Amino acid sequence: MNFTIQNVLIPVTDSYTTTNIQVVNGKIAAIATNLDVIGQAIDGTNKLLLPGFFNAHTHSSEMWLRGMVSMYPLELWLAELYDFAPLDVEKVYLSALGTAAETLLSGGTSVVDHLVLIPGQELETIATAVRAYKEVGIRAFIAPLIQDESLIAGMPSGGSQPRQESYFRSTGETLAIIEEAVQQFHCPEGGVNILVAPTGIQLCTDALFTGCIELSNRYNLCRHSHLLETKAQEKLAQEKYGCTAVAHLEEIGYLSDRTSLAHCVWLTDNDINILARTKSTVVHNPLSNLRLGSGIAPVLKYLQAGVNVTFGCDGASSNDSQDLLEAIKIGSILHNITDFDYQNWITPRKAIEMAALGGATGLNIANQLGSLEVGKAADLVMYDLTNLSLLPRTDPIGLLVLGRTTNAVHSAWVKGREIVSNGQLTTLNVDELKQELFQRSQWENKGQSPNAKKIEPHYRKVMDLSN
Amino acid sequence: MNFTIQNVLIPVTDSYTTTNIQVVNGKIAAIATNLDVIGQAIDGTNKLLLPGFFNAHTHSSEMWLRGMVSMYPLELWLAELYDFAPLDVEKVYLSALGTAAETLLSGGTSVVDHLVLIPGQELETIATAVRAYKEVGIRAFIAPLIQDESLIAGMPSGGSQPRQESYFRSTGETLAIIEEAVQQFHCPEGGVNILVAPTGIQLCTDALFTGCIELSNRYNLCRHSHLLETKAQEKLAQEKYGCTAVAHLEEIGYLSDRTSLAHCVWLTDNDINILARTKSTVVHNPLSNLRLGSGIAPVLKYLQAGVNVTFGCDGASSNDSQDLLEAIKIGSILHNITDFDYQNWITPRKAIEMAALGGATGLNIANQLGSLEVGKAADLVMYDLTNLSLLPRTDPIGLLVLGRTTNAVHSAWVKGREIVSNGQLTTLNVDELKQELFQRSQWENKGQSPNAKKIEPHYRKVMDLSN
């Protein structure tokens, strides 16, 4: 539907201006102070318009366990997650709706869902997420999480024990599922994209990576993985390859300008140069990195080296929210403690650019999305600047990024379709969703998981923790 | 007013229970599953009841500049703040209302306002804050920010230049103002407390500290200061005293079980032992410490040494919000990256205890506040667990602390008086407040402040930053 936003504040270089914006056929058709109303007239008075942000890494179904997993580092956290996470297709559907809703209500119009697949129901899981995201209308980048090694392989052995247990599904079968999903669901024009998404070096063979590269090349798919989230993974890469994980991924040809890599906490300076050279994108998940004690990703170094960086919430069990503005705030200010020279710090305007254009760049669509430019898709978010959390009036982007907004998203559009209006989702009955989430869960305080308990002694040993 | 909350969830050891709570004459009179209704019956179904938290360090009037001050370390940030912060009494009033509102809507029932005083209108400033907090009904700990050295003294000299400019008000006059404020306003029973609050070693002489100690002893007042927020202050202490700031404050007798110290980022292990020995309290302000690049306070070390730690938002220009739940979340998970041993990490339950009982302990009133116990004051907050941000149902406290709640506070009481009801403040017209904040401000993107520009070369030199 066509529309014209009138008298809305938008950022211009080092300042703001009040202007009008025409949206025609899902694209920004004009931005100027004097414009005729085309289609619906929308009042932008006392509102700020920005390009929609990207929630560039999450796992939607983790919503079912948020707030519950113990205070553990990734490796033990994952073991507990597996113990407590029996999924069904209906749950996948509801948590995708919830993830979309929270993303939209915190400034995001695109989500990269590194989707956990139900064993034996892989295509159904993907179909379900596709259905949920299409219903809500958020732009979806579904990255089915695949691996071909079992969980125990993800920990460094410390040289002391065999690491291999066979995985229940072969590499070839896994790749066949992804290819089938691409053929059924990959439709960028319709707002649904499938990515190849081997979970990371810790649980994938080179055969799986190579198969994903082939699919990516054949179908023009983006690539998405975890990379060096923890110190344990850094150790593991050395055990597995005798070099850094980044050097290995470059060697096998996985890194590219359509490759986005979640976390990137434990990289060397040389690794950083490789990311810059290959035009790979770092997805920074600051809340998750803190919650799991993974460390601080060297984001200021990435920016200085010219590496594209954007933000993700990560799954809601390691965050434990899907508030993109929170990820942007913490992902900006966290790095001030890593460099005494404040001239290198991320400004609120830079943060906004990373969240919007940086996200689009990581998915190789910066020519179509990520900024307020004529010709780009109308993935837009309008913030109500009369919200208490955005008052008194000072610098609107400063308030948005450094403050803690609640209910500040007034409207959101994806490809010109209004998904949020007056703070409410237009495509989803949130009360019904809440009832479903409520009914399928219970308040509880689970004890330690058997799996985490089982692998804890080994973890403590290889990570040099006292007993 | 007396009331009885029915069927509300409360935490018990490692679990939860559904119970009833009677509040009589402002105190918790009974907690049990079978209780008669005394006074008003309040439905606690699907709600979680917790003791109110303490926003244990803030500067309310900074609300006027939130979102606007440049990305600077404290010393330059402060210079910019001074340039851009012309205050008047009406602004003090409105920002105190706003600070109270945001604190209440994020779980706080007490606020420690390290109140910036308008020069020449010091008592009026204090009277205004008292009026605002009494109107809203939040429990107020007003700590008038005093100093007797000028701003330039707050930077280490690096041995190169004289540091002294005389301050516009004498030490004696400053102390007289505080004593007058105590006599006029200090009334713990009425919910208003005055603290002695020399800003910190960077801008105060020993004469001011000693005068504050005398007032504290004479009137039984708590003591509140900044302490070693930045590396520059650590350098300054060595220049000024030839020992650490903590060693000096112990020597002059400032540290005690009613002394709370904001920030505490740059302490030695010996300093930490001094805080433990003197029973001093650390107020952790994680957002501000990140925003200003101050560093990570060694909170896990404090807890291990037995030092009481609680949370503050700090002023809204260095945060830039007054969301206490955000401070509690980040103040908990931030420390996971400082210690690989996850067994030392702060759990959500521990965080809640720090925010409630820890706050009360820091103000020497742990016998009256900070936990759900019969006989304690009814400073209570009830959270709506059917809020989307708290669903699906898992561990309620885990969701509250690790999630990112929006609008989750259903009700709040201070001394049994209902201040928040069904998510709305009962004592404040927030729409009117918003209008006032809106009308007295404008959207702007201020350039660099003259003062910050003036002192920047010296700052870069003493902090060994390249030019």
pLDDT digits (tens, 9 = 90+) for A371-400: 999 999 999 999 999 999 999 999 999 999
Residue B161's pLDDT band, with cuts at 50, 70 and 90, is low
What's the confidence (pLDDT) of residue B110? 98
* Digit-coded pLDDT (tens) for B416-435: 999 999 999 999 999 999 99
* Spatial CB neighbours of A81, under 8 Å, sequence gap ≥ 6: A62, A65, A69, A317
Q: CA-nearest residue of chain A to B13?
A: A445
Q: Please indicate whether the domains covering A3-50+373-432 and A52-362 agree at the CATH topology level.
A: no
What one-letter code names the amino acid at B236? L
**Side-chain-facing half-sphere of B357: CA atoms under 13 Å:** 10
Q: Is the pLDDT of residue A161 over 70?
A: no
- Tell me what pLDDT residue A134 has: 98
Residues 6+ apart with CB under 8 A from B218: none
* Calpha distance A457→A183 (Å, rounded): 44
Q: How much is the average pLDDT of A216-220? A: 98
Return the structure tokens found at A114.
Answer: 């590194």
Homologous superfamily, domain A52-362: Metal-dependent hydrolases (3.20.20.140)
Interface test with B, best of A80, A234, A394, A459 (most B CBs within 10 A): A394
Alpha-carbon span B142 to B114, nearest angstrom: 6
pLDDT for residue B449: 87
Helix axis angle, B89-104 relative to B430-439, nearest 10°? 140
User: Of A311, A211, A196, whose CA–CA distance to A252 is shortest?
Assistant: A211
Q: Which residues of A touch B102 (CB under 8 A)?
A: 388-389
Closest residue by Cα to residue B335 from B283, B286, B271:
B286
With a pLDDT cut of 90, the percent of chain B lying above it is 91
- Give the pLDDT score at B330: 98
- A139-142 β-sheet, strand order: A53-58, A108-113, A139-142, A192-194
What is the domain partition of chain B in residue ranges? 3-50+373-425, 52-362
Q: Which residues of chain B have a CB within 8 Å of the CB of A326?
A: 326, 404
Cα distance between residue B344 and residue B299, in whole Å: 11
The answer to whether residues A331 and A404 touch, using CB atoms and an 8 Å cutoff, is no
CATH number for the domain running over A3-50+373-432: 2.30.40.10
Q: Do B345 and A71 touch (CB under 8 A)?
A: yes
Tokens coding B396 = 């309620």
The closest of B86, B88, B83, B62 to B446, measured between CA atoms, is B83
User: What is the residue-wise DSSP string for A265-279?
Assistant: -S--HHHHHHHHHHT
CA gap B78, B459 in Å, rounded: 12
- Which amino acid type is present at position A58? T
- Among A326, A340, A446, beta carbon nearest to B404: A326
DSSP state, residue A118:
P
pLDDT at A162 over 90: no
Calculate mean pLDDT across residues B138-154.
94
Query: CA dihedral in degrees (B371, B374, B377, B378; nearest 10)?
Result: 80
Residue of B169, B166, B117, B82 lying closest to B455 (CA atoms): B82
Report the pLDDT value the prediction gives residue B239, as an integer from 0 to 100.
93
What are B108-122's pLDDT values in tens digits? Answer: 999 999 999 999 999
Tens digits of per-residue pLDDT, B330-383?
A: 999 999 999 999 999 999 999 999 999 999 999 999 999 999 999 999 999 999
Residue B324 C-beta-side C-alpha neighbours within 13 Å: 34
Structure tokens at A393: 């009036």
**Tokens for A222?**
């983006």
ipTM above 0.85, yes or no: yes
What CA–CA distance (Å, rounded) separates A311 from A355?
6
- Contact residues on chain B for A333, CB-CB shorter than 8 A: 287, 290-291
Residues from chain B contacting residue A466 (CB–CB below 8 Å): 341
Residue A378 neighbours by CB under 8 Å, 6+ apart: A23, A26, A27, A28, A413, A415, A416
Cα angle A139-A264-A328, degrees, rounded to a multiple of 5: 50
Cross-chain CB nearest to B330 (options A76, A330, A397): A330
Band (B162; pLDDT cuts 50, 70, 90): low
Q: Which residues pair with A11 in a beta bridge?
A: A16
Which residues on adjacent β-strands are paired with residue B142?
Answer: B113, B194
Question: Which CATH number does B3-50+373-425 carry?
Answer: 2.30.40.10
Backbone angle region of A17, left / alpha / beta, with phi > 0 → left and psi within -120 to 50 → alpha: beta
Distance from CA of B248 to the nearest CA of A (A): 27
What is the pLDDT at residue A126?
A: 98
Give the pLDDT score at A163. Answer: 57
CA distance A256 to chain B (A): 30
Q: Which single residue is written with the structure tokens 């601080």?
A: A296
From the CA of A422, how many Å to the nearest CA of chain B? 16
Which chain A residues touch B72 with a CB distance below 8 Å? 342
Interface contact flag, A391 B434, Cβ < 8 Å: yes
Sheet holding B53-58, edge to edge: B53-58, B108-115, B139-144, B192-194
- As a whole number of angstroms, the distance between CA B299 and CA B281 comes to 11
| Cα B121 from chain centroid (whole Å) | 23
